[in-house]
Chains A and B, each alone.
Chain A
Amino acid sequence: MGMNWHVVVDNMPILAKGALLTLELTAGAVAIGVIIGLFMALARLSKRKVVRAGAIAYIDFFRGTPLLVQIFLVYFGIPMLLKWQTMPDNYQYTAGILAMGLNSGAYIAEIFRAGIQSIDRGQTEAARSLGMTQAQALRYVILPQAFKRTIPPLGNEFIALLKDSSLLSIIAIQELFYTGKIIVGRTYQPLPMYLAVALYYLVMTQLIAQWVAYMERRLGKNDLG
């Protein structure tokens, strides 16, 4: 079987479409993950034991089990819990983003927790001594500083999730990897096609890394606090 690099050139646009979907799914999941992560990080740091235990259970579960299993749990779990007879059109996208969002929420929770804990205790004390409530101290003093420090690890999480999103091919989401697989099935050119797929992933992860580095420089200008 000879190598046919034309296949790659011919299928560039279709792969690009898959890559765009990969990017969108990942961005959606990270957005959900940031919201979940923020609440879970705060819960994790709560003084109340029950709240803390709940957050720990959540974080441990999603970090301690495979994303692939979580995708199936969500994908098959929701219809069962909601007693759907049939799955709505395009349901796999919702399930896929949700599963990845739940998963990254656990990782981002730990990123935020580390960020919050890295802020000097004196900052909270200064805020509290001025009469701010715990919530006000968090909102105006701690989180703005913590967010800045979490940009690099958040970028890493974005990149890790972008790569892991190839797992969504298992529920027939036509993201980048799935698209490549289909083309291979049609053309019998696995090596050139998967190399092209890998290259697309690489370009995306590199771009994200650059963007994160840029954000970090821009936000870090005023203080290294």
Chain B
Amino acid sequence: MILVKDLHKYFGKLEVLKGINCHIKEKEVVVVIGPSGSGKSTFLRCLNKLEEPTRGEITVDGIPLNSDVNVNAIRREVGMVFQRFNLFPHMTALENIILAPEVVRKTNKAEARKNGMELLAKVGLYDKADEYPDRLSGGQQQRVAIARALAMKPKIMLFDEATSALDPEMVGEVLSVMKDLAREGMTMVVVTHEMGFAREVGDRVIFMDEGIIMEEGKPNEVFENPKNPRTQAFLSKIL
């Protein structure tokens, strides 16, 4: 589903990604962990071309990301959820969700609204359709943001620390939506510090440090028996 070969990314002279190789299969849930500044977000953002890779190859759903032509086509297939929600504040929850289907997929309004309401129901916010984001809690906003990404019917979902900006009591409601998605077979790449989530639904854990993949494996293997000393050091700090 996603194939990454020797991915390098520089910001000016700073090399943030130093040769990433990985293959993410269909329906796989890959959890990316690693210390701050290790390049997790940058890696994720390369997968939908929010960042332009400096070198290397990325293929998403059979489409090589190198050609500029189909950037928007790729982005339609790859949903992204951000740490700070990034809902559109001038639109209601439902309007947030139906905007892209309408203007990008040219779905007619009635159908977009119907799908939008179904998605709101799915994330438990059916009755919040007409609320503006500033009237919603962080957890509710993030669930709307997930529904918004899902409205484009993506084949892959990217989550960049989707629960990090939330008050502790709201983390659970967002994680449970993400777990549902994983169970339904969505291909997911999830950057998170939630190790419980990683264990429960992760098929694979990738530990990144200093722009490379230091270690990867099944969640239990990585968490119980980390081989790389850096992984050990990182895990001992957060577990």
Contacts and interface: CB of A to CB of B under 8 A. Distances in A.
B86 interface: yes
Contacts of A130: 75-76, 79, 99-100, 104, 148-149, 152
Nearest to A130: B100
A126 B152 CA distance: 13
A145 B104 contact: no
B50 interface: yes
A144 B76 contact: no
A123 to B, nearest CB: 6
Interface in A105-120: 120
Contact of A223 (B50, B80, B105, B132): B132
B89 A225 contact: yes
B86 A225 contact: no
B152 A131 contact: yes
B104 A131 contact: yes
In the complex, which of the residues B86, B145, B148, B149 has the most CB atoms of chain A within 10 Å of its own CB atom?
B86
B103 interface: yes
A225 B90 CA distance: 7
Given A136-B104, A140-B103, A223-B89, A129 B134 contact: no
Interface residues of A, number: 22
Contacts of B88: 123, 126-127, 140-141, 145
A120 B134 contact: no
Given A129-B80, A131-B76, 14 more contacts: A120-B86, A125-B82, A125-B86, A126-B88, A129-B48, A129-B79, A131-B75, A131-B104, A136-B103, A141-B88, A145-B89, A222-B132, A223-B132, A223-B133
- Tell me what chain A mostly uses at the interface: helix, strand, loop, or mixed: helix
Nearest to B50: A125
A122 B80 CA distance: 12
Contacts of B89: 145, 223-225
B90 A222 contact: yes
Contacts of A131: 72-73, 75-76, 100, 104-105, 152
B84 interface: yes
In the complex, which of the residues A120, A141, A144 has the most CB atoms of chain B within 10 Å of its own CB atom?
A141
Given A144-B90, A145-B90, A223-B134, A132 B103 contact: yes
Contact of B104 (A132, A141, A144, A225): A132
Contact of A132 (B86, B100, B145): B100
Contacts of A4: none
Contacts of A46: none
Interface of A: 120, 122-123, 125-133, 136, 140-141, 144-145, 148, 222-225
A29 to B, nearest CB: 28
Contacts of A123: 86, 88
Contacts of A145: 88-90
A133 B76 CA distance: 11
A61 to B, nearest CB: 33
Contacts of A222: 90, 132, 134
B86 A122 contact: yes
A123 B50 CA distance: 12
A148 B89 CA distance: 12
A126 B50 CA distance: 10
Contacts of B48: 129
A129 B133 contact: no
A145 to B, nearest CB: 6
B132 A122 contact: no
Contacts of B76: 130-131
10 contacts: A120-B86, A123-B86, A125-B86, A128-B50, A130-B100, A131-B76, A144-B90, A145-B89, A148-B90, A224-B134
